[in-house]
Amino acid sequence: MSEKTVQAAPKKNTAFQGVKRYFKEQAIPLVVLLLMIVIASCISPVFLSKPNASNLVVQVALNMVVAMGMFVVILTGGIDLGVGSVVAVSGVLVAGFMQNLPVGIAILATMLICTLIGCFNGLIVARLRIAPFIVTLGMMSFARGVAYWYTQAVPISWKATLGADFMFWLGSGTLGPVPVICLVWLLMIAVTFLLMRFTVVGRILYSLGGNEEAVKLSGINVAKWKVFPYAFSAFCCALGGILLTARLGVGAPNSGEGLDMDAIASVVIGGVSFSGGSGNVSGVVIGVFILGIINNILDLMNVPNYPQLMLKGAIIVVAVILSTIRDQKR
């Protein structure tokens, strides 16, 4: 046996172990997703139809984008309760800016302002060491108030602006058979995956969630790196708000309500540890689709919104309990 053959064996074994570990971690979310697809197809024959499948991948777009940001925050042991309000701020700002500015500048200005909101949250959490729950809860109320104040509680339409064609294409257009809005959330998944898997940023953020004290002792400026997750989450919310406004045709101050619960549920269902340091992007994608299928099948059955809220709350509690049990076994 040659030396090359001897050296190749451990690599193959390591790769196999990595795949085995991944499927072990994602076993429950994958099984739940498959069960949901089977159950949904049995309940409603419309579920597997092409129009409904197309509708489903568009429906999950907002939650998918926002959940990428929530994933990074929860991975570091934090939480962002203000995502829905920041989505509303993004939506009304981009619609308002488009009244007097080119669409490109309006989008860039909106994303910059929302990212600064996230930086502010991160600075308060990191520098003053206030619990993320309190900081983002306050921002949830403040940002929602800003959205209502900016619009005077009246939705702002972009349909009569010069950038209307681009916004219509972004919200309802296609590239070949694929909706543009789906390409956007696929891009955000890819960006988040590459960021967390192959960059120094990702390694530091995983370490922060796993053992913040060890990161401090290694000489890394923890306060600086704790700002990034909240800035990234706000960036995702800004993008989500722009997509939602493009779909609706207006920037509405009440948009994004309940989105914080959807994003948290998707992340926790996807196997991300609520205590931080464990989880991956693919699990979050599975979680988003599980929640999306639940919402879709309940809509097909004409179930009112209130039972859906009850179900989401129950899902979050059960997912957190399972996450806690899993962490205790490690």
Query: Is residue 161 situated within a structural domain?
Result: yes
Residue 233 resides in a domain: yes
Residue 53's pLDDT is what?
87
Confidence at residue 25, expressed as pLDDT on a 0 to 100 scale? 65
| pLDDT tens digits in sequence order for the chain, 330 residues long | 444 444 444 445 666 666 666 666 667 778 888 888 898 888 888 888 888 888 899 999 999 999 999 999 999 989 999 999 999 999 999 999 999 999 999 999 999 999 999 999 999 999 898 999 999 999 999 999 999 999 999 999 998 888 899 999 999 998 888 999 999 999 999 999 999 999 999 999 999 888 888 888 888 888 889 999 999 999 999 999 999 999 999 999 999 988 998 999 899 888 888 888 888 899 999 999 999 998 888 888 888 877 777 877 887 788 778 777 776 766
What's the 3-state SS for the chain? CCHHHHHHHHHHHHHHHHHHHHHHHCHHHHHHHHHHHHHHHHHCCCCCCHHHHHHHHHHCHHHHHHHHHHHHHHHCCCCCCCHHHHHHHHHHHHHHHCCCCCHHHHHHHHHHHHHHHHHHHHHHHHHCCCCHHHHHHHHHHHHHHHHHHHHCCCCEECCCCCCHHHHHHHHHCEECCEEHHHHHHHHHHHHHHHHHHHCHHHHHHHHHHHCHHHHHHCCCCHHHHHHHHHHHHHHHHHHHHHHHHHHHCEECCCCCCCHHHHHHHHHHHCCCCCCCCCCCHHHHHHHHHHHHHHHHHHHHCCCCHHHHHHHHHHHHHHHHHHHHHHHHHC
Q: Is residue 301 part of a domain?
A: no
pLDDT at 23: 65
Token digits for 326? 């899993």
Instruction: Please indicate, yes or no, if residue 152 is contained in any of the structural domains.
Output: yes
Per-residue pLDDT at 204? 92
Please give the residue range of the domain that contains residue 224: 50-256
When divided into structural domains, the chain yields a total of 1
25: in domain: no
> Is 135 within the bounds of a domain?
yes
Residue 188: inside a domain, yes or no? yes
Within a domain: residue 224? yes
pLDDT value, residue 6: 41
Annotate 178-194 with b (16+ C-beta within 10 A) or e (fewer): ebbbbebbeebbeebbe
